[in-house]
Amino acid sequence: MDLGLKGKVALVAAASQGLGHAVAEELAAEGASLILCARHDAALQETCAAISAAHGTPVLGLATDVADPAAVARLVAAGQARFGRIDILVTNAGGPPAGTFDTLSAEQWQAATQLLLTSVVELTRAVLPGMRERGWGRILNITSISVKQPVANLMLSNSLRAAVTGMARTLATEVAAQGITVNNILPGYTRTERVVGLAEATATREGISAAEATARWEAEIPMRRLGEPREFAALAAFLCSERASYITGTSVPVDGGWIRSLL
Ligand code: NAD
Protein backbone atom coordinates (compact mmCIF):
# COMPACT_ATOMS: atom_id res chain seq x y z
CA MET A 1 0.00 0.00 0.00
CA ASP A 2 1.40 3.43 -0.89
CA LEU A 3 0.70 5.60 2.14
CA GLY A 4 1.15 8.78 0.13
CA LEU A 5 3.70 10.18 2.57
CA LYS A 6 6.45 10.93 0.03
CA GLY A 7 7.40 14.60 0.20
CA LYS A 8 5.22 15.31 3.25
CA VAL A 9 6.81 17.20 6.15
CA ALA A 10 6.27 15.75 9.64
CA LEU A 11 7.05 17.24 13.04
CA VAL A 12 7.50 14.49 15.62
CA ALA A 13 7.92 15.72 19.20
CA ALA A 14 10.01 13.97 21.87
CA ALA A 15 11.69 11.75 19.31
CA SER A 16 15.29 11.08 20.37
CA GLN A 17 14.31 7.62 21.66
CA GLY A 18 11.37 5.33 22.31
CA LEU A 19 7.99 5.69 20.62
CA GLY A 20 8.70 9.11 19.07
CA HIS A 21 11.91 7.78 17.53
CA ALA A 22 10.12 4.73 16.12
CA VAL A 23 7.36 6.89 14.58
CA ALA A 24 9.96 9.22 13.04
CA GLU A 25 11.82 6.24 11.59
CA GLU A 26 8.64 4.81 10.04
CA LEU A 27 7.62 8.17 8.51
CA ALA A 28 11.13 8.60 7.08
CA ALA A 29 10.97 5.10 5.61
CA GLU A 30 7.78 6.22 3.82
CA GLY A 31 9.58 9.24 2.36
CA ALA A 32 8.55 12.06 4.72
CA SER A 33 10.95 14.86 5.69
CA LEU A 34 11.26 15.32 9.43
CA ILE A 35 11.45 17.95 12.13
CA LEU A 36 12.32 16.27 15.44
CA CYS A 37 12.75 17.57 18.95
CA ALA A 38 13.78 16.33 22.40
CA ARG A 39 15.27 18.07 25.40
CA HIS A 40 18.87 16.86 25.05
CA ASP A 41 20.66 17.97 21.91
CA ALA A 42 23.41 15.33 21.72
CA ALA A 43 21.03 12.34 21.75
CA LEU A 44 18.66 14.15 19.39
CA GLN A 45 21.34 14.94 16.81
CA GLU A 46 22.51 11.32 16.92
CA THR A 47 18.96 10.14 16.19
CA CYS A 48 18.53 12.67 13.36
CA ALA A 49 21.81 11.63 11.72
CA ALA A 50 20.96 7.92 11.99
CA ILE A 51 17.47 8.34 10.49
CA SER A 52 18.72 10.60 7.71
CA ALA A 53 21.54 8.17 6.82
CA ALA A 54 19.22 5.14 6.85
CA HIS A 55 16.43 6.64 4.74
CA GLY A 56 18.04 9.46 2.76
CA THR A 57 15.48 11.99 3.99
CA PRO A 58 16.22 15.47 5.37
CA VAL A 59 15.89 15.59 9.17
CA LEU A 60 16.04 18.79 11.22
CA GLY A 61 16.59 18.35 14.96
CA LEU A 62 16.09 21.16 17.46
CA ALA A 63 16.56 20.72 21.22
CA THR A 64 13.20 21.79 22.67
CA ASP A 65 11.32 21.31 25.92
CA VAL A 66 7.73 20.81 24.74
CA ALA A 67 6.45 22.01 28.12
CA ASP A 68 7.73 25.51 27.27
CA PRO A 69 5.31 27.33 24.90
CA ALA A 70 7.96 29.82 23.69
CA ALA A 71 10.31 26.95 22.80
CA VAL A 72 7.49 25.20 20.94
CA ALA A 73 6.82 28.35 18.90
CA ARG A 74 10.54 28.56 18.01
CA LEU A 75 10.60 24.90 16.98
CA VAL A 76 7.63 25.25 14.63
CA ALA A 77 8.99 28.49 13.15
CA ALA A 78 12.39 26.85 12.49
CA GLY A 79 10.70 23.84 10.88
CA GLN A 80 8.57 26.03 8.65
CA ALA A 81 11.60 28.15 7.69
CA ARG A 82 13.53 25.02 6.69
CA PHE A 83 10.82 23.07 4.84
CA GLY A 84 8.22 25.73 4.00
CA ARG A 85 5.39 23.87 5.72
CA ILE A 86 4.35 21.21 8.25
CA ASP A 87 1.81 18.67 7.01
CA ILE A 88 1.88 16.21 9.90
CA LEU A 89 2.16 16.78 13.64
CA VAL A 90 2.82 13.92 16.06
CA THR A 91 2.62 15.16 19.64
CA ASN A 92 4.55 13.33 22.33
CA ALA A 93 6.42 14.01 25.59
CA GLY A 94 8.09 12.12 28.39
CA GLY A 95 5.81 10.38 30.87
CA PRO A 96 4.78 12.25 34.05
CA PRO A 97 5.78 10.95 37.50
CA ALA A 98 3.80 8.10 39.02
CA GLY A 99 1.75 8.76 42.17
CA THR A 100 -1.63 8.66 43.86
CA PHE A 101 -3.79 11.69 44.69
CA ASP A 102 -2.29 11.88 48.19
CA THR A 103 1.34 11.79 47.06
CA LEU A 104 1.19 14.42 44.31
CA SER A 105 1.85 18.11 44.98
CA ALA A 106 0.23 21.14 43.34
CA GLU A 107 3.56 21.80 41.60
CA GLN A 108 3.59 18.29 40.13
CA TRP A 109 0.04 18.76 38.80
CA GLN A 110 1.08 22.07 37.24
CA ALA A 111 4.23 20.63 35.65
CA ALA A 112 2.36 17.61 34.28
CA THR A 113 -0.33 19.88 32.83
CA GLN A 114 2.36 21.87 30.98
CA LEU A 115 4.06 18.68 29.80
CA LEU A 116 1.06 16.64 28.66
CA LEU A 117 -1.75 19.10 27.86
CA THR A 118 -0.28 22.55 27.19
CA SER A 119 2.39 21.05 24.90
CA VAL A 120 -0.32 19.55 22.69
CA VAL A 121 -2.33 22.79 22.66
CA GLU A 122 0.70 24.90 21.71
CA LEU A 123 2.07 22.52 19.06
CA THR A 124 -1.38 22.34 17.52
CA ARG A 125 -1.89 26.10 17.68
CA ALA A 126 1.37 26.64 15.80
CA VAL A 127 0.79 24.17 12.94
CA LEU A 128 -2.96 24.58 12.31
CA PRO A 129 -2.92 27.81 10.27
CA GLY A 130 -0.62 26.28 7.61
CA MET A 131 -2.66 23.06 7.47
CA ARG A 132 -5.82 25.11 6.99
CA GLU A 133 -4.24 27.16 4.19
CA ARG A 134 -3.25 24.00 2.31
CA GLY A 135 -6.47 22.13 3.14
CA TRP A 136 -4.54 19.07 4.34
CA GLY A 137 -3.19 18.03 7.71
CA ARG A 138 -2.70 15.16 10.14
CA ILE A 139 -2.51 15.61 13.89
CA LEU A 140 -1.75 12.48 15.89
CA ASN A 141 -1.39 12.57 19.67
CA ILE A 142 0.52 9.83 21.48
CA THR A 143 -1.49 9.32 24.68
CA SER A 144 -1.86 6.02 26.56
CA ILE A 145 -4.07 3.01 27.23
CA SER A 146 -4.85 4.87 30.47
CA VAL A 147 -7.51 6.93 28.63
CA LYS A 148 -9.66 3.81 28.20
CA GLN A 149 -8.69 1.98 31.38
CA PRO A 150 -6.92 4.01 34.08
CA VAL A 151 -3.65 2.51 35.35
CA ALA A 152 -3.19 2.28 39.15
CA ASN A 153 -0.72 4.79 40.62
CA LEU A 154 -0.66 6.93 37.42
CA MET A 155 -3.02 9.71 38.57
CA LEU A 156 -1.38 12.40 36.41
CA SER A 157 -1.31 10.36 33.22
CA ASN A 158 -4.87 9.08 33.73
CA SER A 159 -6.19 12.63 34.22
CA LEU A 160 -4.26 14.72 31.71
CA ARG A 161 -4.34 12.32 28.79
CA ALA A 162 -8.12 12.29 29.16
CA ALA A 163 -7.99 16.08 28.75
CA VAL A 164 -5.95 15.70 25.55
CA THR A 165 -8.53 13.19 24.30
CA GLY A 166 -11.35 15.67 24.91
CA MET A 167 -9.47 18.41 23.13
CA ALA A 168 -8.63 16.19 20.16
CA ARG A 169 -12.19 14.94 19.75
CA THR A 170 -13.52 18.51 19.83
CA LEU A 171 -10.86 19.81 17.43
CA ALA A 172 -11.46 16.90 15.05
CA THR A 173 -15.01 18.16 14.52
CA GLU A 174 -13.90 21.77 14.16
CA VAL A 175 -11.33 21.08 11.42
CA ALA A 176 -12.76 18.00 9.66
CA ALA A 177 -14.18 19.96 6.71
CA GLN A 178 -10.76 21.55 6.13
CA GLY A 179 -9.01 18.29 5.25
CA ILE A 180 -7.37 17.93 8.65
CA THR A 181 -7.71 14.78 10.77
CA VAL A 182 -7.05 14.60 14.52
CA ASN A 183 -6.54 11.23 16.18
CA ASN A 184 -4.93 9.68 19.24
CA ILE A 185 -2.81 6.54 19.36
CA LEU A 186 -2.67 4.69 22.68
CA PRO A 187 0.48 2.72 23.52
CA GLY A 188 0.18 -0.26 25.82
CA TYR A 189 3.27 -1.68 27.53
CA THR A 190 5.89 -1.19 24.81
CA ARG A 191 9.59 -2.04 25.05
CA THR A 192 11.21 1.41 25.22
CA GLU A 193 13.95 2.85 27.43
CA ARG A 194 11.22 4.21 29.71
CA VAL A 195 9.59 0.83 30.24
CA VAL A 196 12.93 -0.89 30.82
CA GLY A 197 13.65 1.81 33.42
CA LEU A 198 10.21 1.35 35.02
CA ALA A 199 10.82 -2.40 35.31
CA GLU A 200 14.15 -1.73 37.02
CA ALA A 201 12.56 0.79 39.42
CA THR A 202 9.74 -1.65 40.27
CA ALA A 203 12.32 -4.40 40.83
CA THR A 204 14.34 -2.28 43.26
CA ARG A 205 11.21 -1.14 45.11
CA GLU A 206 9.73 -4.61 45.48
CA GLY A 207 12.91 -6.69 45.91
CA ILE A 208 12.35 -8.71 42.73
CA SER A 209 14.25 -8.89 39.43
CA ALA A 210 13.50 -6.62 36.46
CA ALA A 211 12.54 -9.75 34.52
CA GLU A 212 9.97 -10.64 37.19
CA ALA A 213 8.56 -7.10 37.10
CA THR A 214 8.20 -7.36 33.33
CA ALA A 215 6.64 -10.83 33.64
CA ARG A 216 3.92 -9.38 35.91
CA TRP A 217 2.95 -6.88 33.17
CA GLU A 218 3.08 -9.60 30.53
CA ALA A 219 0.67 -11.72 32.58
CA GLU A 220 -1.93 -8.92 32.18
CA ILE A 221 -1.46 -8.72 28.39
CA PRO A 222 -3.40 -11.31 26.37
CA MET A 223 -0.46 -11.58 23.92
CA ARG A 224 1.80 -12.31 26.94
CA ARG A 225 4.55 -9.99 25.72
CA LEU A 226 5.45 -6.31 25.57
CA GLY A 227 4.86 -4.47 22.30
CA GLU A 228 7.76 -3.43 20.11
CA PRO A 229 8.08 0.28 19.15
CA ARG A 230 7.91 -0.60 15.43
CA GLU A 231 4.53 -2.30 15.95
CA PHE A 232 3.27 0.98 17.40
CA ALA A 233 4.92 3.07 14.68
CA ALA A 234 3.23 1.11 11.88
CA LEU A 235 -0.23 2.29 12.96
CA ALA A 236 1.07 5.80 13.63
CA ALA A 237 2.38 6.09 10.06
CA PHE A 238 -0.93 4.85 8.69
CA LEU A 239 -2.96 7.35 10.73
CA CYS A 240 -0.66 10.13 9.45
CA SER A 241 -1.06 9.01 5.85
CA GLU A 242 -3.14 10.03 2.87
CA ARG A 243 -4.81 6.62 3.08
CA ALA A 244 -6.28 7.40 6.53
CA SER A 245 -8.24 10.32 5.06
CA TYR A 246 -11.66 9.32 6.48
CA ILE A 247 -10.47 8.48 10.01
CA THR A 248 -10.77 11.31 12.53
CA GLY A 249 -11.64 11.85 16.19
CA THR A 250 -10.61 8.32 17.16
CA SER A 251 -8.40 6.83 19.89
CA VAL A 252 -6.76 3.61 18.76
CA PRO A 253 -4.84 1.34 21.16
CA VAL A 254 -1.76 -0.71 20.23
CA ASP A 255 -1.71 -2.86 23.35
CA GLY A 256 -1.69 -6.60 22.61
CA GLY A 257 -5.29 -6.75 23.88
CA TRP A 258 -4.61 -5.19 27.33
CA ILE A 259 -7.74 -2.95 27.32
CA ARG A 260 -10.72 -5.14 28.18
CA SER A 261 -13.56 -2.76 27.18
CA LEU A 262 -15.75 -3.43 24.14
CA LEU A 263 -15.15 -0.05 22.44
P1 NAD B 1 10.93 7.38 26.54
O2 NAD B 1 11.28 7.89 27.89
O3 NAD B 1 11.62 6.14 26.06
O4 NAD B 1 11.17 8.53 25.46
C5 NAD B 1 10.67 9.81 25.71
C6 NAD B 1 11.24 10.83 24.72
O7 NAD B 1 10.68 12.08 25.07
C8 NAD B 1 12.74 11.00 24.75
O9 NAD B 1 13.20 11.24 23.45
C10 NAD B 1 12.92 12.28 25.61
O11 NAD B 1 14.10 12.97 25.31
C12 NAD B 1 11.72 13.06 25.19
N13 NAD B 1 11.24 14.03 26.16
C14 NAD B 1 10.93 13.82 27.46
N15 NAD B 1 10.46 14.96 28.01
C16 NAD B 1 10.48 15.91 27.04
C17 NAD B 1 10.14 17.29 27.00
N18 NAD B 1 9.69 17.93 28.09
N19 NAD B 1 10.28 17.95 25.83
C20 NAD B 1 10.76 17.31 24.71
N21 NAD B 1 11.09 16.02 24.70
C22 NAD B 1 10.97 15.32 25.85
O23 NAD B 1 9.35 7.19 26.56
P24 NAD B 1 8.38 6.33 25.59
O25 NAD B 1 8.23 4.97 26.19
O26 NAD B 1 8.80 6.49 24.20
O27 NAD B 1 6.98 7.06 25.86
C28 NAD B 1 6.55 8.19 25.13
C29 NAD B 1 5.24 8.65 25.74
O30 NAD B 1 4.29 7.59 25.67
C31 NAD B 1 5.36 9.03 27.23
O32 NAD B 1 4.52 10.12 27.50
C33 NAD B 1 4.88 7.79 27.92
O34 NAD B 1 4.36 8.06 29.20
C35 NAD B 1 3.78 7.32 26.97
N36 NAD B 1 3.49 5.90 27.13
C37 NAD B 1 4.45 4.98 26.93
C38 NAD B 1 4.14 3.64 27.11
C39 NAD B 1 5.20 2.55 26.91
O40 NAD B 1 4.93 1.41 27.26
N41 NAD B 1 6.35 2.84 26.34
C42 NAD B 1 2.86 3.26 27.49
C43 NAD B 1 1.88 4.23 27.67
C44 NAD B 1 2.22 5.57 27.48
- Overall average pLDDT of the 8-27 stretch: 98
- Specify the pLDDT at position 131: 98
Residue 202 has pLDDT above 90, yes or no: no
- Specify the pLDDT at position 263: 87
The rounded Å distance from CA 19 to ligand 1 centre is 7
Model confidence band, residue 68 (pLDDT cutoffs 50, 70, 90): very high
Residue 105 has pLDDT above 90, yes or no: yes
- Specify the pLDDT at position 45: 98
Instruction: Render pLDDT for 187-201 as a digit per residue (tens, 0 to 9).
Output: 999 999 999 988 998
- Specify the pLDDT at position 231: 98
Residue 40 has pLDDT above 90, yes or no: yes
Distance, in Å, from the CA atom of 192 to the CA atom of 222, rounded to the nearest integer, reads 19
The rounded Å distance from CA 21 to ligand 1 centre is 10
Instruction: Render pLDDT for 177-190 as a digit per residue (tens, 0 to 9).
Output: 999 999 999 999 99
- Overall average pLDDT of the 2-29 stretch: 98
- Specify the pLDDT at position 205: 86
- Overall average pLDDT of the 136-164 stretch: 97
Instruction: Render pLDDT for 82-94 as a digit per residue (tens, 0 to 9).
Output: 999 999 999 999 9
- Overall average pLDDT of the 212-240 stretch: 97
- Specify the pLDDT at position 56: 97
Domains of the chain: 9-189+228-254 (3.40.50.720)
Model confidence band, residue 27 (pLDDT cutoffs 50, 70, 90): very high
Average pLDDT score, the chain? 97
Q: Whose CA is nearest to atom 41 of ligand 1?
A: 190
- Specify the pLDDT at position 198: 86
Model confidence band, residue 168 (pLDDT cutoffs 50, 70, 90): very high
The rounded Å distance from CA 145 to ligand 1 centre is 14
- Overall average pLDDT of the 98-125 stretch: 97
- Specify the pLDDT at position 201: 85
Return the best residue to mutate from 25, 35, 92 for the ligand 1 pocket (most ligand atoms within 8 A of CB). Answer: 92
